[in-house]
Every structure is written in structure tokens, then in C-alpha cells.
Amino acid sequence: MKNSILIRPYRPADSDATIEIFLRAIREVSSKDYSPEQINAWAQVEDPAKWAERRISRPAWIAEIDGKPVGFSDLTPDGCLDMMFVHPEFQGLGVAGRLLARVEEEAQLSEMEGIYTHASLTARPFFEHKGFQVLRRQTVERRGQRLYNFVMEKFYQRRS
């Protein structure tokens, strides 16, 4: 299966597909780790135009299987992996692993010392498995609900 995953640059026409993946991944996968109220507060895209703008504002990648977008990720210039979402029907197949490998390739090409992310409870074991360490737990507020997640980082070189 890993061989049939294609990683390609994000295109503006992918915006709706990323919204669907984002909403479904939260509602159908992260829902095992957060309450229904928290999931409802998190799984919202109120302004698709703003969402589309954010997606093209930094390098981003789509994972495709058989021509269908099944996951996406990105990397901001300051080294933040902001998004890592995989379609619920394509979990556990290596999609996030392939996306992360592409993100890390980009970070190293850009000579970043490391990258960081704000990992959900659901994603923390994945990032730990891939060599990230938890810096701290934090609480974020979304539409009146408090959710906690983890600031995690991975370094490629020792800081001098």
C-alpha cells in the first residue's frame, strides 16, 4: 500500500478536499480522544476562503491514493508543521508517515535546525514514534471549549 501513496505539492483546487479530510479526521478519528463538545468546537471551517488562503500561504503537500486526496500536511517558514490530517478511511496505511517524510525533507533542504507541531492527543503517539519529543502540554480555546494538546519538537542538529 505504501507504494501506491503519491505525495505531491498542494494546489489551490485541493482546498475543498482538505476541508473534508480535516473535518472527517476530527469527527471520526480524534473523537476517540476528545468529548463531543470539544470535537464540535474544533471541527468547524467557518470561512472556506480564509482556509484556502492559509493553505497556499506556506508549502503544503497532498497524499493521494488512486488519484484521491487522502491526507495533507504543511510547513511554515518558522518550522511549524501546522496540519497533519488523514482521511478516516485511509488510516494506518502509512499516509502520515509519507507526508512527514516530505515535510522533513523540506525542512532539511531549507536548513532548518528542527521542526515543531501542536499535536493532538490522537497524533501524539504518531509524532513520538517519529522522533518528536513533548516540550509541554497546553490548553487551547476553540469556540468556547478548552482542548489540550502538546507542543512537540524534533531537532536535526545540536543547538550550539
Ligand X SMILES: CC(C)(COP(=O)(O)OP(=O)(O)OC[C@H]1O[C@@H](n2cnc3c(N)ncnc32)[C@H](O)[C@@H]1OP(=O)(O)O)[C@@H](O)C(=O)NCCC(=O)NCCS
What is the chain's alpha carbon radius of gyration, rounded to the nearest angstrom? Answer: 15
**Which range binds ligand X by CB under 6 A, 7-15, 47-55, 117-125, 135-143?**
117-125
For the chain, first and last CA: distance in Å?
Answer: 41
3-state secondary structure of 29: coil
Q: Does 136 bind ligand X (CB under 6 A)?
A: no
Q: Minimum distance between the CB of residue 73 and ligand X, rounded to whole angstroms?
A: 8
β-strand partners of 71: 63, 86
Q: Which is nearer to ligand X, 51 or 126 (CB)?
A: 126
Q: Minimum distance between the CB of residue 144 and ligand X, rounded to whole angstroms?
A: 20
Q: Does 30 bind ligand X (CB under 6 A)?
A: yes
- Please provide the DSSP assignment of 69-114 as one string: EEEEEE--TTSEE--EEE-GGGTTSSHHHHHHHHHHHHHHHTT-SE
Q: Does 116 bind ligand X (CB under 6 A)?
A: no
Residue from 126, 121, 104, 105 nearest 42 by CA: 121
Q: Which is nearer to ligand X, 25 or 62 (CB)?
A: 25
Q: Minimum distance between the CB of residue 154 and ligand X, rounded to whole angstroms?
A: 14
Residues in 76-115 at the binding interface with ligand X, rule: CB under 6 A: 84-86, 91-97
Applying CB under 6 A, the residues found at the interface with ligand X are 25-26, 29-30, 84-86, 91-97, 119-120, 122-123, 125-126, 129
